[in-house]
Amino acid sequence: MLVGTVTLDRPATATSSQVLTGVTAILPRPITAGPLPVWAGQFDLNGNGEMTGSHWIREAGWFLGPVLLTNTHSVGIAHHAAVGWMIDRYPEHYRRHHAWAMPVVGETYDGLVNDICGRHVQESHVLAALDSASAVAPAEGNVGGGAGMQTYDFKGGTGTASRRVRIGSLAGTVGALVQSNFGARADLVVAGVPVGVLYPDGVVDLGDGVAEMGSIIVVVATDLPLSPSQLARVAKRAGLGIGRTGTRGGNGSGDMFLAFSTANATPQPPIGAAQPLVGAVEFLKDHWLDAVYGATVEAVEEAVLNALVAARSVATAKPPGQILHAIDHQRLRSILRAHDRLSR
């Protein structure tokens, strides 16, 4: 899996609003001579959000192309740019035959610290994120699509984590990338400790009657051979991972999860091209899935916490004049130490 990011960070001035937003681009596979789909599964814990392409993933069990994460009002431009990027990379596939591009674009709302209605993400930003995608571990916190997000009323953003899995002679990796923008302060739990209850101050005042406001997109990637139905079940386990951090899945939260496997690289010829009669793939037997489930839950939980601890404080845009604080590392360590979760 390759990841690229573009971050837009412009403080407010007398004549312009604050901009803090961006794009995260995920390429499930490196660019090859022809497009190769990945087997996939998708699950919504709460559907107050958008993830394009998810209908086909649930129907067919695969998708072709990149995954993009951005803010709520930039889904359209991200989708538009990704379609053009796919056509340009694979002109034989799209221009010669009857093939259509359906990239996956997920979103969360960053209007607390970003002029989201200004729609500052442009096609050039999306293309730059796609073109910069690499195997280098991505930065976390205030970067890419997660630049302007909050988590449990602290500054949140982009987070990643992974686990190695060995099942008999089979070895692989389960990785998670989150765009974390969810949760109410009182619900935050870290290592079983009710940190949010013990750290109640510094919450942005949104006004009376405003409940939890945000969402989370989770992308789980593995090189283990899993079927679409197994990947849908893996995607569900992302909910257990974020649940470990305390969330109840708020009404206003879009909690959408995608899981894909890069194993079984099987071309999907477009309509009009020669089609094989049958295909052959290998999948892990269901009996052995618990190891993958465990790795998924742990990686997703850690990715959320990494987004929290990597973030840095920023000024709010709406309402103006407040600070969305990053979690204080020393205070967090002190709370965990008092509950015997740290040795020093």
Active site amino acids:
215, 253, 255
Contacts of 14 (CB under 8 A, 6+ apart): none
Please give the angle made by the CA atoms of 227, 230 and 236, to the nearest 5 degrees.
Answer: 145
On the question of a cis peptide bond just before residue 225, with omega within 30 degrees of 0, the verdict is no
Stated as kind and residue range, the H or E segment containing 42 is strand 38-47
Stated as kind and residue range, the H or E segment containing 295 is helix 290-310
Burial classification of residue 275, based on how many CB atoms lie within 10 Å of its CB (0-12 exposed, 13-18 middle, 19 or more buried): exposed
* Count of residues in the chain: 344
User: Which tokens is 121 given?
Assistant: 């993400």
Find tokens 């909050």 and name the residue: 150
Distance, CA of 204 to CA of 142 (rounded, Å): 18
123-131 helix and 75-89 helix, angle to the nearest 10 degrees = 50
Distance, CA of 165 to CA of 93 (rounded, Å): 35
For residues 218 and 239, the answer to whether their CB atoms sit within 8 Å is no
